[in-house]
Amino acid sequence: MSGTGRAMDLRIGWLYGGKMNIYGDRGNVLALMRRAAWRRIAAETVDIGLGDPIPDGIDAFFFGGGQDREQIAVARDLVGAKGAAIRTAVEGGAAMLAVCGGYQLLGHEYRPHGAAPLPGIGLFDLVTEAGPERFIGNIVVETEFGDLVGFENHSGLTHLGSGARPLGRVRVGRGNNGRDGFEGAIYRNAVGCYLHGALLPKNPVLADWLLQAALRRRHGDVELAPLDDALERTAHAEAGKRALRAR
């Protein structure tokens, strides 16, 4: 039920969960499902793998991280109609969370080490190229959702184009490219970032923003019943302290 008491449903499309699922990223799907279930919202997760079409009626997508070799197969699968269907869904109000390898493939191109450039679907105005070092460590990003905390592990250096809005400013860690001070990108109800961990269990404000956007697409403006996020806030605070200590 939402705060209005109406029973609601929700469809989450998990993109390439069998291939793009590292550093706990599946926890993001679990967090969205649980935060919906705690509000008695009937949420279902639809696995969308290699060769699968993008089903109609997806309210929120999740696209996790993966190593370069998985990204090569996934990039090939996204070329053409499949990538276009995801763009159309997001333009139509669907929510999206993409992390690291998934985030990179939502830009125009990802240039990995020792392989031909991979085409992205062009949802975000950005380009990523593999850099000489891996950025590994805790990360804290100042955003419109408050501080987001997570863990980054990527060699990709992401550069935002004029049409891209950064998710936020790096407080601790390296972010998109370790130079411009920005991390991630946001466009309509789509968020891309480098925060593994999983991100959403420790960042309930962002989790509920994605849920709200997904529900709005299917049910119009509804308010989410508040949850007791004491445990989530404690995890968030501990992760933030750990990141600041490790600086």
Q: Which of 13, 65, 150, 192 binds ligand GLN (CB under 6 A)?
A: 65
Q: Which is nearer to ligand GLN, 22 or 222 (CB)?
A: 22
Length of the chain, please?
Answer: 247
Q: DSSP for 64-117? A: ----HHHHHHHHHHHTTHHHHHHHHHHHTT-EEEEETHHHHTTSSEEE-TTSPP
What 3-state DSSP class applies to 59? coil
Our finding on whether 240 is near ligand GLN (CB under 6 A) is: no
Q: Which is nearer to ligand GLN, 10 or 166 (CB)?
A: 166
Our finding on whether 212 is near ligand GLN (CB under 6 A) is: no
CB of 64 to ligand GLN, least distance (A): 7
Rounded distance between C-alpha atoms, residue 141 and residue 63, angstroms: 20
Q: Which of 13, 66, 184, 240 binds ligand GLN (CB under 6 A)?
A: 66
Q: x/- string (CB under 6 A) for ligand GLN, residues 149-168?
A: ----xxxx------------
Q: Which two tokens stand for residue 204?
A: 């309930």
Q: How far apart are the first and last CA of the chain?
A: 43
Rounded distance between C-alpha atoms, residue 30 and residue 108, angstroms: 29
CB of 164 to ligand GLN, least distance (A): 18
Could you tell me which stretch among 41-49, 59-67, 170-178, 227-235 binds ligand GLN (CB under 6 A)? 59-67
Contact yes or no for 215/93 (Cβ under 8 A) = no
Which of the residues are catalytic? 100, 196
- The residue sitting closest to ligand GLN, measured at its beta carbon, is 65
Q: x/- string (CB under 6 A) for ligand GLN, residues 7-36?
A: ---------------x--------------
